[in-house]
Structures are given as C-alpha cells and as structure tokens.
Amino acid sequence: MVGVLSNRVDRLDLAAGDHIYSWRTAYLYAHHGIYIGDAMVIHFTRAAGHEIGTGTFLDMFLFSSSPATEEGPPCEKCGHLIKQQGVIMSCLDCFLDGGNPYLFDYAVSPAFFLAKARGGTCTLAASDPADIVIHRAQHLLNSGFGTYSLFKNNCEDFAIYCKTGLLVETAFSVGRSGQLASLTAAFSAVASSPLRFLTTSAGGLAVVTSGMYCVGRYVSDIGVRRDVVKVPVERLVEHWPPRDVAVAPPPQESHQECQGNDVAPQECHGDGDGGCVSESLS
C-alpha cells in the first residue's frame, strides 16, 4: 500500500501488471494505463485533442493521452507503435508526457478508501495476478476496448478492467472510473443542500456535505457495486453495443456489353455449365 498522502512511485519500483496513472493539466484529471514491463505501457485514448470530444473550447483543457508526434519527430522507442486512437502501446516517457508515475491501489480497506479524498487513485476491488492483467491488456491492444466515452468507457475504466475483469452491466450508470464517481458524488453532495435545514452551523453543514460525498464515492466503487460481472477478455466484445457497419451493395448480375466498330452489342448469359453464351442485342 503506497500511502494516504501520495501514490507517487519511482520508475525503478514499477512492476509488470501495475496500474499506473499520471496527472494532466494542473492535476485536473489523470490518465491511466497498464505497465507491461520494459518501460512500455498499454493504455486507452480517444484522439489527439479530443479526449472528451465536446467539439468546444473545453477540448483545449483535456488533452489527449496519445503522444503528439505532429510537432516533432516520432519517439525512437515507440513512434512506430503508436496508433491515432483506441488501445495503444507507448513507452513510459510518452505515457507520462513529462509527469510522474503514480500507482493505483487495489484491495484497500474502507477506511483507507475514504481517507483518499480524491477518486481515481484506489479501489476496494482486488486485482487479479499480474500475468492475467498483462494478458488482458495485450489482448485488448489487438481487439480494442469499444468506443471511447469520457463518462462510460475511459482510460481508467480500461485499466480497472485489465486488473479486475469486472464490467458494469447496467447501461444507465457511470463506468468504473473513480474520477467520474468522485465528480458524481460531489454533485450529489451539492444537490443534498436541503439537508442544511438539519443543522444551523457552518460546521454542521460541512459535516453533512462531506458525509454525502463519502457515501457517494463508496457506493460507486467497483469493489462494492452490485451491477458488475466478471467477463473473460475473449468474450468482452459480446458486451459492447452494436456499431454501425457499412453494408456492402449486393452483387450485380453478370452483364457484359461489347461494342465495336462493326460488331453489334452483345449480352452474355450463363449457359448453366459455368460458360457464357453471347446473344445479339440488335
């Protein structure tokens, strides 16, 4: 267990199968991935400059987790591996993007979980063995992890699935992300402002709001939720919503016209034996 105050870890202490993350944009949010050893990380991203995909100025604040190679030469170690979006593999330096590595904690106690006031750093759920975690990450590197969604299927959701194999069944709730659970809990705490009538002091109001926030975080954690199921990575594709698939046009009937200077147009019909019988169209 890393500690209540900080989950920061030295690069030399990283082990294959670790769930790591790095803070972005003045600690507003963190990007998550699975460290697979040899200074390489598998992680899930949307596209450069479109991590949230709002199409507004907000995209300027939540930059993509994928390394930006347009502004300079590609990374010598992972530049040839980088895809524009989806599940990608990059070196640790590109993943951190100038930040520091932090270790996501698993199987923490409820007291420790609540002591970590900010979500997206630990969970009550237990992690599977490292070899299974790496297998899931490498499998998803080839098969994908569905459509990226900030609220339903983001980089933290990907890393948590690789570590636990747990998938949320219900379609109306948020994903496994602790960052989004914290945000939801914060809104719930604010929405519970009518509870201020239960207390007449500022201190009492702070206690009520903090309590609602902690309860919201706790019940949203993947380790205590009842709407999750363990899904083998080989069957994960069965749980993604169907995508729009382009339907190929139906094959046209065999039809061939021949035009020449002194030859009338001909039409070709099958003779029943795989051959072709020409018939004059004139």
Report in angstroms the alpha-carbon separations of 212 from 18, 80, 116, 194: 31, 48, 15, 12
Which pLDDT belongs to residue 90?
Answer: 92
Strand partners, 42: 34, 89
Helix (H) or strand (E) holding 29: strand 29-37
Tell me which of 19, 32, 43, 162 is the catalytic residue.
Answer: 43
Which pLDDT belongs to residue 185?
Answer: 45
Which pLDDT belongs to residue 67?
Answer: 53
CA 126, 128, 134, 138 torsion: positive or negative? negative
Concatenated DSSP letters of 42-110: EEEE--TT-SS--SSGGGGTS--SS---TTSPPPTTTTTT--SSEEEEEEHHHHHTTS--EEPB-S--H
Buried b (16+ CB within 10 A) or exposed e, 109-147: eeeebeebeebbbbbbbebbebebbbbbbbbbbeebbbe
Reported pTM: 0.72
Indicate if 268 belongs to the active site.
Answer: no
Residues recorded for the chain: 282
Which pLDDT belongs to residue 247?
Answer: 42
Tell me which of 78, 91, 94, 155 is the catalytic residue.
Answer: 155
Strand order, beta sheet including 19-24: 86-91, 40-45, 29-37, 19-24, 102-103
Tell me which of 31, 32, 78, 122 is the catalytic residue.
Answer: 31
- Residue listed under structure tokens 């199987």: 107
Instruction: Identify the DSSP state of 39.
Output: T
Which pLDDT belongs to residue 215?
Answer: 74
Indicate if 31 belongs to the active site.
Answer: yes
Give the mean pLDDT per block of 10 residues along the chain (282 residues).
77 97 86 96 77 54 52 79 83 92 95 85 96 97 88 89 89 50 48 53 61 74 89 85 48 49 53 55 50
